[in-house]
Amino acid sequence: MSAEYTLADVKEHQSKKDLWLVVHDMVYSCGDFVDEHPGGEEVLMDVAGQDATLAFEDVGHSDEAREILNGLLVGTLKRTASDPKPPVTTPSFTSQTQSNDAGTTLYAFIFVAALVALGAYKMYA
C-alpha cells in the first residue's frame, strides 16, 4: 500500500530540491526532475506544494511525460473536509486518433477545394 499525504503535507515541500505536487490525487516528488523539465523550472515552481492537475492537463502532456511522472510517485492524496474540491478534468492523452482526425479533415478540405477549382475552370473555360 502506498503512503497517504494530506495537502498540508504536500505544502511543506515547495523548494527546488524538495518539490512535491499533486496530479489527479496522486502525490509526486519532482525535486530531482526540476532541472530536466522541458518547460523550465518556473513551471514546476509555480505549482509546488499544491494540486497541479489543471496545469498538468492544460498543457496536454505526452504519454512519455506521464511515464516520467509515474516514476516520481510517492503516494496518494488524502483529502480532508477543509481541502478544496479536486478539479474536474479528464486526462488529455496525446493519441493517434487526434492526429488522424486532423489529417482526414485536411484531405477532405483539399478534395473539396479541388472540386470547386475544377467547377470554376469548367464554368469559365
Is residue 52 included in any domain, yes or no?
Answer: yes
Q: Is the pLDDT of residue 81 over 80?
A: yes
Mean pLDDT of the chain: 86
- Domain hosting residue 17, numbered range: 1-84
pLDDT in tens, 106-118: 888 888 888 889 8
Is residue 118 included in any domain, yes or no?
Answer: no
The total number of structural domains in the chain stands at 1
Residues 6+ positions from 43 with CB-CB distance below 8 Å: 37, 55
One-letter amino acid identity for 2?
Answer: S
Is residue 98 included in any domain, yes or no?
Answer: no
pTM equals: 0.67
Query: What is the spatial distance between Cα 60 and Cα 93, in angstroms, rounded to a whole number?
Result: 7
Is residue 123 included in any domain, yes or no?
Answer: no
Is residue 125 included in any domain, yes or no?
Answer: no
Query: Where residue 76 sits, what CATH number does that domain have?
Result: 3.10.120.10
Where are the strands (E) in 1-125, listed by range?
3-5, 20-23, 26-29, 73-77
Residues 6+ positions from 100 with CB-CB distance below 8 Å: none
